[in-house]
Amino acid sequence: MPPAEPVADARLHVVTGKGGTGKTSVAAALATAFAARGERVLLTEVEGRQGLAQVFDVAPLGEDERTLLTDPSGGEVVGLSVDARAALLEYLHRFYRLGPAGAVLQRVGAVDFATTIAPGVRDVLLIGKVYEAVGRTTRRDGPVFDRVVLDAPPTGRIGRFLAVNSEVSQVARVGPIRSQADSITRMLSGPETVVHLVTLLEEMPVQETRDAVAELTDLSLRVGWVVANLVDEPLLLPEDLPTASDGVDDVLDDLVTEGLAAAEVSTLPAMVTGLVREARDHLARAALQARLGEELAGLGRPVATLPGLPDGLEGGGLGVLADALDEQGVTG
C-alpha cells in the first residue's frame, strides 16, 4: 500500500516495535537502503546494547561516530551508540562550558544524576544527542547527515521516551533543559520525524502495534510504516486444498499419501500422521498470518513485509532486507 503522505521526506526515522521483533535489524536495513541511494546516514542506538555493532559485525560502538558501511554510490552509514553519561558531559560542556570540570563531575559521581535520578532528563539527554545530529551542519556543505535512523526503545517505552516535554516538565520548568526539551518536541512532532513500527504476524506484537499507533498519534507523533518482519510465504493455503466433503485431515491424508507415493517414498502410517499434523499446523499459521496481515492493513498506515532469512543477517542478509524496504517504497 502506498504511504498516505511522503514519509520518506522525514530526516529522522525512529524505529520501534515489540522486543525481539527486529527493530535493530530493520533500523540497520533502513539506514543501508538510504545509503544505497547515495545518502550519508547516521544510525544510532540509545540503550548501550551494542546491537548495531553486532549487526555490522564490528567492535562495540561508543561516543565516537564510526563508519559502518560505505556504498559505491557514495552513500555511507555512520554508527553511534549514545550513552546518557557521555551525553550529559557533552551537554554540560555545551551549555555551561564545563570542560575539564566534566571529568571532575564524572569522578565524584555526580553524573549518576543522568542515569538514575531523573529518567525523564536522561531521555532528553539521549534524544538531545539525536536532535543535535539531525541539526548538525557545516558552513560549507549544509547538513552533515541526510538522514538519522534511530534504533529506539521498544513500544512499551516509546511513548514515554519520546514525550520528553511532559517528562521534563516534572523536573525542569525553566532553564536550558526546559528549552532543549521544547526544541526536541518541535522536531519530533514536526514533518522532519517519522516513527516506524516493526512487528511479527503474531497476536501479541500486532496488539502492541495497534496500541502504539494510538499512543503515538495521541502524542502528535507521525506513524510511518508498519514493517511486518519474518513473514514467510505459506507453502500451503486453505484455498489450495481440493474441495471435498471429507474433513481437512482426510484431505491432507490423501495429499500426503499421494505425494509420498509420487516421490516413491515407502511410508509407515505414523509418518503420514505426523506429516498431516504438520500440514494442519502450517495451515492454521497461514490463516492466522493472513488475518493479522489484514488487521495491520486496517491500521491505515502503509505496510511493508520482510522475509525471514534462513541465515539471518549475515552474508548479505542486511542488503536483502534493505533492497526489500527500498522496493516497497519505504525509502521514497
Ligand X SMILES: Nc1ncnc2c1ncn2[C@@H]1O[C@H](COP(=O)(O)OP(=O)(O)OP(=O)(O)O)[C@@H](O)[C@H]1O
Cα-Cα end-to-end distance for the chain: 13
Contact status, residue 66 vs residue 56, Cβ threshold 8 Å: no
Regarding 224 and contact with ligand X (CB under 6 A), the answer is no
Within 228-257, the residues that bind ligand X by CB under 6 A are 229-230
Regarding 32 and contact with ligand X (CB under 6 A), the answer is no
Q: Which does 20 bind (CB under 5 to 8 A by kind): ligand X, Mg ion, none?
A: ligand X
Q: Which does 21 bind (CB under 5 to 8 A by kind): Mg ion, ligand X, none?
A: ligand X
Q: Give the Cα separation of 134 and 190 in Å (integer).
A: 13
Within 37-56, the residues that bind ligand X by CB under 6 A are 51
- Site stretch for ligand X (CB under 6 A), options 12-20, 91-99, 101-109, 183-191: 12-20
Cα→Cα distances 303→20, 139, 226, Å: 19, 39, 5
Q: Residue 55 CB, nearest distance to Mg ion (Å)? A: 9
Q: Torsions phi, psi of 226, nearest 5?
A: -100, 120
Q: Which of 7, 11, 12, 21 binds ligand X (CB under 6 A)?
A: 21
Regarding 313 and contact with ligand X (CB under 6 A), the answer is yes
Within 138-197, the residues that bind ligand X by CB under 6 A are 154
Q: Give the Cα separation of 222 and 162 in Å (integer).
A: 12
* E runs forming strands in the chain: 12-17, 40-45, 66-70, 76-81, 137-138, 142-143, 147-151, 193-199, 223-228, 303-305
Residue written as grid cell 555551561: 96
Q: Give the Cα separation of 324 and 170 in Å (integer).
A: 43
Q: Residue 208 CB, nearest distance to ligand X (Å)? A: 11
Residue written as grid cell 523536573: 171
Regarding 79 and contact with ligand X (CB under 6 A), the answer is no
Within 25-84, the residues that bind Mg ion by CB under 5 A are 51
Q: Residue 2 CB, nearest distance to Mg ion (Å)? A: 28
- Site stretch for ligand X (CB under 6 A), options 2-10, 13-21, 173-181, 211-219: 13-21
Complete DSSP assignment for 245-299: SS-HHHHHHHHHHHHHHHTT----HHHHHHHHHHHHHHHHHHHHHHHHHHHHHTT
Q: Which of 4, 9, 19, 57 binds ligand X (CB under 6 A)?
A: 19
Q: Residue 143 CB, nearest distance to ligand X (Å)? A: 27
Residues at the interface with Mg ion (CB under 5 A): 23-24, 51
Residues at the interface with ligand X (CB under 6 A): 17, 19-25, 51, 154, 229-230, 306, 308-309, 312-313, 321
